[in-house]
Structure 1
Amino acid sequence: MPSINPFVAPTSGDQPWVDQMRKTLKTQLSVLIDTPPLSIFSVPQILKDEKPEAYAPQKIGLGLKHHFRTELYSNMQQNKLTAVERVIKPYQIPDLEDRVAERIKNIIPVVSPCYDSFPETDADAFAWLFAIDGLLLLDQLRVYFEKGFAIDEKDLIMLENQIPMVVLKEIEKALSSNGEHVEELWESKFRYFAESNSPFLLSKEAIDFNRVNHLLDYMYHSIINNEVSRDVAYLKPGSIPVEKSAAAELLEAIIKAAGLIPGVKPFLGIIESIIKILYQTDKEKMIQEIRVPSVSELGDIARVKFALSTKEEGIRNISFANGTCCLPVITLNYDSEVILRNLMAYEKLMAKNSLMGGFGLELTEYVDFMCGIIDTANDVKVLRELKIIQGDLPDEEIVKLFNGIGRSLGNMSGQSMLRQTVAELNKVYDNVLSVRIKKEAEKQARAVARALTFLVSISGTLVLAREALVQASGSKMTQLIINIVTKQMAVLFRL
Structure 2
Amino acid sequence: MPPLQTNLPFGTSFNFDELQWVTNIRRTIEADQLEDDSEISKCIFSVPKALMSTHPDCYTPQQISLGPYHHSRLELHEMDRYKLSAAKRSQKLLQSLKFQDLVEQLMKLESKIRACYSKYLNINGETLAWMMAIDASFLIEFLQVCALCDPKMLSKVPSGISYLFDYSRRESGYHAILRDMAMLENQIPLFMLRKVLEFQFPSLKSADDMLYSMLMGSCKELSPFKTVVSLSGVKVSHDAHLLDFLYNIIVPKVEESFEIPEEVKDDSKDTQDNEESSVDSSYIKPLLIEIWKLLSKLKVLNKLLKSAPFAVILKLPWTIFLNLLGFGTVKQPNTSSESEIVCSSFDQPPSVEEITIPSVSQLSKCGVRFVPTNGSISTINFDKQTCTFYLPKISLDVNSDVVLRNLVAYEASNLSGPMVFTRYTELMNGIIDSDEDAKKLREKGIILSHLRNDEEVANIWNGMSRSIRLTKVPFLDKVIEDVNKYHDGLFKVKVGKFMKMYVFGSWKLLTLVAATLLLIITSLQAFCSVYDCVRLFHLK
Q: What TM-score, normalized by structure 1, do the two folds share?
A: 0.70
Q: Are the equivalent residues in 1 in contact too, given 2:395–2:448 (CA < 8 A)?
A: yes
The answer as to 2:53 corresponding to 1:49 is: yes
Deviations 1:278-333 (A, max 9, x none): xx99999x853421110000011x21111112x2x111111111211111100000
The answer as to 2:227 corresponding to 1:204 is: no
Deviations 1:324-376 (A, max 9, x none): 11111000001100000011110111124xxxxxx531111111000001111
Q: Which residue does 1:294 correspond to in 2? A: 359
Q: Which residue does 2:490 correspond to in 1? A: 432
> 1:191 is matched by which residue type in structure 2?
M
Deviates more, 1:192-201 or 1:148-157: 148-157
The answer as to 2:414 corresponding to 1:350 is: yes
From 118, 131, 134, the equivalent of 2:133 is: 131
User: What is the alpha-carbon distance in structure 1 between the residues aligned to residue 372 and residue 205 of structure 2?
Assistant: 47
Q: Which residue does 2:2 correspond to in 1? A: 5
Tell me the SS of whatever aligns to 1:363: helix
Q: Are the equivalent residues in 2 in contact too, given 1:93–1:178 (CA < 8 A)?
A: no
Distance change >3 Å, CA 179–CA 220, structure 1 → 2: closer
Q: Are the equivalent residues in 2 in contact too, given 1:84–1:139 (CA < 8 A)?
A: no
From 58, 63, 66, the equivalent of 2:67 is: 63
How do residues 245-264 of structure 1 correspond to structure 2 at under 5 angstroms? none
From 174, 182, 190, the equivalent of 1:157 is: 182
The answer as to 2:92 corresponding to 1:89 is: yes
Q: Are the equivalent residues in 2 in contact too, given 1:39–1:114 (CA < 8 A)?
A: yes
The answer as to 2:400 corresponding to 1:336 is: yes
Q: Are the equivalent residues in 1 in contact too, given 2:359–2:430 (CA < 8 A)?
A: yes
How do residues 117-266 of structure 1 correspond to structure 2 at under 5 angstroms? 117-146=119-148, 147=165, 149=169, 150=174, 152-176=177-201, 182=207, 184-200=209-225, 201-206=227-232, 207-226=234-253, 228-231=255-258
Distance apart, 1:204 and its partner CA: 3.2
Q: Are the equivalent residues in 2 in contact too, given 1:307–1:325 (CA < 8 A)?
A: yes
Distance change >3 Å, CA 427–CA 9, structure 1 → 2: closer
User: What is the alpha-carbon distance in structure 1 between the residues aligned to residue 430 and residue 36 of structure 2?
Assistant: 49
Distance change >3 Å, CA 440–CA 410, structure 1 → 2: farther
Distance apart, 1:424 and its partner CA: 0.8
Q: Are the equivalent residues in 2 in contact too, given 1:316–1:362 (CA < 8 A)?
A: no
Q: Which residue does 1:257 correspond to in 2? A: none
> 1:78 is matched by which residue type in structure 2?
R
The answer as to 2:112 corresponding to 1:110 is: yes
Tell me the SS of whatever aligns to 2:133: helix
Deviations 1:393-448 (A, max 9, x none): 221101111111122111123x5111111111101110122321333345558997
Distance change >3 Å, CA 214–CA 9, structure 1 → 2: closer
**What percentage of aligned pairs have identical amino acids?**
30
Distance change >3 Å, CA 84–CA 180, structure 1 → 2: farther
Q: Which runs of 5+ in 2 are unaligned?
A: 8-23, 149-164, 260-340, 510-540
Distance change >3 Å, CA 28–CA 216, structure 1 → 2: farther
Distance apart, 1:93 and its partner CA: 2.1
Q: Are the equivalent residues in 1 in contact too, given 2:84–2:134 (CA < 8 A)?
A: yes
Q: Which residue does 1:369 correspond to in 2? A: 427
The answer as to 2:79 corresponding to 1:76 is: yes
Deviations 1:157-179 (A, max 9, x none): 11100011222222223334799
Deviates more, 1:35-44 or 1:53-62: 35-44
> 2:187 is matched by which residue type in structure 1?
Q
Deviations 1:219-275 (A, max 9, x none): 00000132534549xxxxxxxxxxxxxxxxxxxxxxxxxxxxxxxxxxxxxxxxxxx
> 2:5 is matched by which residue type in structure 1?
V
User: What is the alpha-carbon distance in structure 2 between the residues aligned to residue 331 and residue 209 of structure 1?
Assistant: 26
Q: Are the equivalent residues in 2 in contact too, given 1:86–1:139 (CA < 8 A)?
A: no
Q: Which residue does 1:98 correspond to in 2? A: 100
Distance apart, 1:34 and its partner CA: 7.1
The answer as to 2:346 corresponding to 1:314 is: no
Distance change >3 Å, CA 419–CA 191, structure 1 → 2: same
User: What is the alpha-carbon distance in structure 2 between the residues aligned to residue 52 and residue 404 of structure 1?
Assistant: 13
TM-align CA RMSD? 3.4
Tell me the SS of whatever aligns to 1:185: helix
Q: What TM-score, normalized by structure 2, do the two folds share?
A: 0.64
Deviations 1:165-210 (A, max 9, x none): 2222222233347999535231110011101220012113534423
Distance change >3 Å, CA 181–CA 316, structure 1 → 2: closer
Deviates more, 1:220-229 or 1:392-401: 220-229
Q: Which residue does 2:294 correspond to in 1? A: none
User: What is the alpha-carbon distance in structure 2 between the residues aligned to residue 446 and residue 223 of structure 1?
Assistant: 46
Aligned length: 380
Q: Which runs of 5+ in 1 are unaligned?
A: 11-19, 233-279, 353-358, 452-495
> 1:93 is matched by which residue type in structure 2?
S
